[in-house]
Amino acid sequence: MTPLDWSQASVLVTGATGSFGKAFVRALLARHTPRRLIVFSRDELKQHEMRVAGFEHPNLRYFIGDVRSADRLQRAMHGVDVVVHAAALKQVPACEYNPFEAIQTNVLGAQNVIEAAIDCGVKRVLALSTDKAVSPANLYGATKLCAEKLFVQGNAYAGRGGTRFACVRYGNVVGSRGSVVPLFLQQRKSGKVTITDPRMTRFWLTIEQGVEFVISSINMMQGGEVFVPRIASMRMPDLAEAIAPGCAVEVTGIRPGEKLHEALVGVDEARAMLVMDDRYIILPQHMSWGYTPPADATKMSEEFSYTSDNNDQWLDRDGLLALLRSTETVDPAELPAG
C-alpha cells in the first residue's frame, strides 16, 4: 500500500478513552494532525473527563457508541480512512466471570468493526491484540485469538481492492491501569510486596512505545499481518526489587488463567513469519489479496518461538527505571532513586 498521509486522513479509534486510546490521540494530534480524529467509546463520563483533561482540538470528534452495535459503527465510519480498534473487555477475572459479555464485545464486536469498515470503504484497520492470544490459558486470551483470526481473514471478505486489516500483538504496558508497577508502588509503603510465582517472567514496553508501534504498523501494513514488537523481558522478583528495594516478598501462588511465561509468537507461527530489526511479522498461510514482503525483512527459522523466558533482551533495575521515567503513566517522584 502507498504511504499514509496522516494530515489528510480521517481516523476513528474505538475504545479511545482507555489508556492506549488517549495516548494514541495525544500523539496523533501532536505530530500528525489528521483532518478528523474520532473518539468512539460507550462511556459519556469518560469522554467528558477526556475533554476537560485537555483533549480539545478543532479536528477532534467525540462519538458515543458501542462496538456491539453494528448500526452505530456504520454511522461512525462514514468517510473514515483509518480505524484503530482498541475497544475490548480486558480484565482476565471479569472475562472469566462474564464470558457471554466478553464474547459479545471482543469477538462479535470485532466482527461488527470489520463489516462496518468494509461497507463504509475504510482503507486500513488495525486491531490491538495481546500476548494472551498465544496458546490462550483464559477466556480473555481466547477471545483475542478469535478476534485476530477475524481481522486477518477480513481481508478475504474485502477482496483485492478493498479494506485492509492487520493486528498488533504486544505485552504488558508498564504503569498502565491495573498493572503490577502501580501495585508494587502502593505495597512498598507497607514494606511488603506480593508476587504470584518467583519463576515468572513478562514482556514490558511503555504506552508511548506501543503507540509508535501502532502508527508504524499502520504505515507499513498491506493486510493480514500480525505485527509483534521486539521488546525486553524481566523476571518478576527483579521487577519487585527494582520498584520496592529492600521490601519483604510474599509469594501468593499462581492465579487461575495465569502463565509463568508469556508468549508473543507461538511455536507453530514461525513457519509463516518474517523478522525485521524492530519487529516480527506473522503472515497468514493464504493471502489471496496479495502481499509483497518488505525489502529489509528476512524469513524466520521454523523452530523459533518468542516467549518472555527465551528472550534475547532483558531489563535490569536501571533499564526498568529508565523505562518508567520515560513514560507519562508513572510519576517519577514515586520511583526509587538511582
Residue 236 in this model has a pLDDT that exceeds 80: yes
> Mean pLDDT, to the nearest integer, of 200-208?
95
User: Residues 64-95: pLDDT tens digits?
Assistant: 999 999 999 999 999 999 999 999 999 989 99
Residue 216 in this model has a pLDDT that exceeds 80: yes
Residue 301 lies in a domain: yes
Q: Is 123 a catalytic residue?
A: no
Residue 338 lies in a domain: no
Q: Is 207 within 8 Å of 329 (Cβ atoms)?
A: yes
The domain spanning residue 94 has which CATH number?
3.40.50.720
Residue 47 lies in a domain: yes
Residue 144 lies in a domain: yes
Residue 134 lies in a domain: yes
Which of 90, 132, 144, 259 is labelled catalytic? 132
Residue 36 lies in a domain: yes
Residue 243: CB partners within 8 Å, gap ≥ 6? 181, 184, 185, 188, 193, 320, 335, 336
Beta strand pairing status for 36-41 and 60-64?
Answer: parallel
Residue 332 lies in a domain: no
Residue 178 in this model has a pLDDT that exceeds 80: no
pLDDT of 288 reads: 86
Using 50, 70 and 90 to split pLDDT, how confident is the model at 330? confident
Residue 85: CB partners within 8 Å, gap ≥ 6? 14, 15, 67, 110, 113, 125, 126, 127, 128, 151
> Mean pLDDT, to the nearest integer, of 220-234?
96
Range of the domain at 121: 6-171+207-230+263-306
> Mean pLDDT, to the nearest integer, of 232-246?
95
Residue 269 lies in a domain: yes
The structural domain count of the chain equals 1
